[in-house]
Amino acid sequence: MKNVKYIILGVLFSVIVTGCEKNDTSSEVPSTISDIRYESLPGAIKLEWTQQEPVTYEYIKITYFDHLKKKDMMRMASKYSDTIQIPGTREKYGTYTFSLQPFSKNGTPGEKLEIEAKSGPAPVTIEILDKKQIRLKAENLFTDAQEPSEGPIKDLIDGDPNTFFHAAWSVDMGPMPHYIVVKLDKKIDAFSFSYVTRNNAGAGNHPKRMNIYLSNHFDPENYDTSDLLLVDSLEDLPNGASQNFDSQNYFENIDEEYEYIWFEVLETHGGTSYFALAELSIFGLELDIVDPEAPE
């Protein structure tokens, strides 16, 4: 009777072992991938591939030479992914060669495939290192519509928010727009500005819309903006007494240095044909520009 039990147990063990061996695919050669392609991205390369069904690999090993780190690199993609993005690449290095190889769960390698790819240019980065207020001179301030009875333009830079510049209201200087133009002692290619509205709560002459221009020429007899560089068009500017406005930092799309900054007031909150401001400040920016694609 004992012999019968041993025989039965042996048969069951053999069946279990045989069944496990049939279901154990860890030692099989992994399935392959095909149709490897790439997309050039800014400072990166995206690799894509097609999985061959059924997918029996566990991961894909991607190897390549990193020109920045000057060494061979390896990245992994799981069986659940058919794409990977490689960061830190550069257009200036030309062609990158990538090797892609599937592996089974126990490390059995599959077919290795290669693709040559090119990176898109890495973007330029700009950091503001310093921001300094520019000293303005009264004789370098201009307007097409000075009010003769009050608010001389020099009061824009006297440091006193209780004084103000006022565009003409007692004489007809025509409809909007009206202008303030500032001549700088030193040309700039990066700047910001701020202003303070007049301290009069009942006034409707606070600027509502304004254009900002740059130029290297200016004729006090002709306020023509047709060939100027438009830097910004501002909407819904502050309304109310003694309100502060701080502009953004301007340097993008400014490809040369400029001597004049124009403030073109298009509309006031009260719909008047004149405007007023208490203070105006301009700031020069020191930039650190890093171009990853520059020659080494």
19 in any annotated domain: no
Residues spanned by the domain of 62: 33-122
Closest among 197, 199, 193, 196 to 212, alpha carbons compared: 193
Decide: helix, strand or coil at residue 3: helix
Statement to judge: residues 165 and 197 lie in one domain = yes
What pLDDT sits at residue 203?
Answer: 78
Closest among 45, 89, 84, 46 to 67, alpha carbons compared: 89
CATH code, 242: 2.60.120.260
65 in any annotated domain: yes
Mean pLDDT of 236-261: 96
Show Cβ contacts of residue 50 under 8 Å, excluding neighbours closer than 6 positions: 33, 34, 35, 82
Is 151 in contact with 197 (CB distance < 8 Å)? no
Statement to judge: residues 110 and 209 lie in one domain = no
Residue 146 has pLDDT above 60, yes or no: yes
Residues in the chain: 296
DSSP annotation of 279 reads: E
27 in any annotated domain: no
Q: Label each residue of 212-238 as H, E or C.
A: EEEECCCECCECCCCCCEEEEEECCCC
Q: How far apart are CA 225 and CA 180, in angstroms?
A: 12
Statement to judge: residues 173 and 69 lie in one domain = no
Is 198 in contact with 239 (CB distance < 8 Å)? no
Statement to judge: residues 134 and 237 lie in one domain = yes
Mean pLDDT of 71-88: 97
What pLDDT sits at residue 25?
Answer: 47
CATH code, 59: 2.60.40.10
DSSP annotation of 271 reads: -
In which band, very low, low, confident or very high, does the pLDDT at 275 lie, cut at 50, 70 and 90?
very high
22 in any annotated domain: no
9 in any annotated domain: no
Query: What is the average pLDDT value for the chain, to the nearest integer?
Result: 92
What pLDDT sits at residue 27?
Answer: 56
Summarised one tens digit per residue, pLDDT across range 217-226 is 999 999 999 9
What share of the chain has pLDDT > 70, as a percent?
91
Statement to judge: residues 229 and 258 lie in one domain = yes
Q: Which two tokens mark 78? A: 């799981």
17 in any annotated domain: no
Statement to judge: residues 112 and 147 lie in one domain = no
Q: Which two tokens mark 100? A: 């892609």
238: number of Cβ within 10 Å: 16
Residue 20 has pLDDT above 80, yes or no: no
CA-atom Rg of the chain in angstroms: 35
37 in any annotated domain: yes
What pTM, to 2 d.p., does this model score? 0.73
Summarised one tens digit per residue, pLDDT across range 157-211 is 999 999 999 999 999 999 999 999 999 999 999 999 999 999 987 778 999 999 9
Pick the last residue of a domain from 90, 122, 154. 122
Integer angstrom CA distances of residue 267 from 177, 234, 272: 7, 11, 8
Domain count, the chain: 2
258-268 core/surface letters (b: 16 or more CB in 10 A; e: else) = bbbbbbbbbbb
Closest among 70, 95, 73 to 84, alpha carbons compared: 73
